[in-house]
Amino acid sequence: MPNQKNTAMLEKVKASLDASKGLFVVDYRGLTVKETQQLRRDLREAGAEMKVYKNNIVRIALKDAEMPELDCQGTCAYIFFEKDPVEAAKVVKKSAEKLNKLEFVGGIADGQALSPEDAKAYADLPSREELMAQLVYVVASPLRGIASVCAGPARGLVTALDAIADQKNAA
């Protein structure tokens, strides 16, 4: 018969999986309580949440949810992101560089399992806002060119009429 605590933890893991679009797994060995609290705050601002669960219970929850299996061993924390995996990955990468104690173990994004290298690669992608700004720039550039070409003949006409008016005033 399963332990009551483990059953309750399994329900919490399932709830976290249902509420998120994916997760990253990190090895948080060596983090102090203060560093962990700061990491949790930063993740919350990025729309993610860090939880520590038993690895076997997470495996069971992933299997029940028909999600890819993860190879998690040791001290693992699970970072569940609600919207954008890039923002959460950037927070983890920034903290890992700052503290030198945190590293990616893997993750799940878009329904696929991620290796540690794949999870790190998410941190190098531009954020959603940066991509939107790039898209606006790409769309606006040709429009700006078209407007300039269309205004050219009118600008030429105004210049010619200005020159004629100056000639008549000088005479």
Which of the four pLDDT bands, split at 50, 70 and 90, describes residue 171? Answer: low
Q: Which amino acid is it at 37?
A: Q
Q: To 10 degrees, the CA torsion angle through 53, 105, 110, 132?
A: 110
What is the reported pTM?
0.73
pLDDT of 61 strictly over 60: yes
According to the model, what pLDDT value does residue 34 have?
A: 94
Q: Kindly write down the DSSP assignment for every residue of 45-112, as one continuous string.
A: HTTEEEE---HHHHHHHHHHTT-------SSEEEEEESS-HHHHHHHHHHHHHHHS--EEEEEEETTE
Question: What average pLDDT score do residues 3-10 get?
Answer: 87
Residue 116, C-beta contacts closer than 8 angstroms, at least 6 positions apart: 103, 104, 105, 106
pLDDT value of residue 24: 93
In the chain, DSSP finds a helix count (H) and a strand count (E) of 6, 5
Q: Nearest to residue 90, comparing CAs of 114, 117, 120?
A: 120
152 against 1, higher pLDDT: 152
At how many degrees (to 10) do helices 4-19 and 55-64 cross?
60
The CA radius of gyration of the chain, in Å to the nearest whole number, is: 27
Beta carbons of 74 and 29 less than 8 angstroms apart: yes
pLDDT tens digits for range 94-125: 998 998 888 899 999 888 888 889 888 888 88
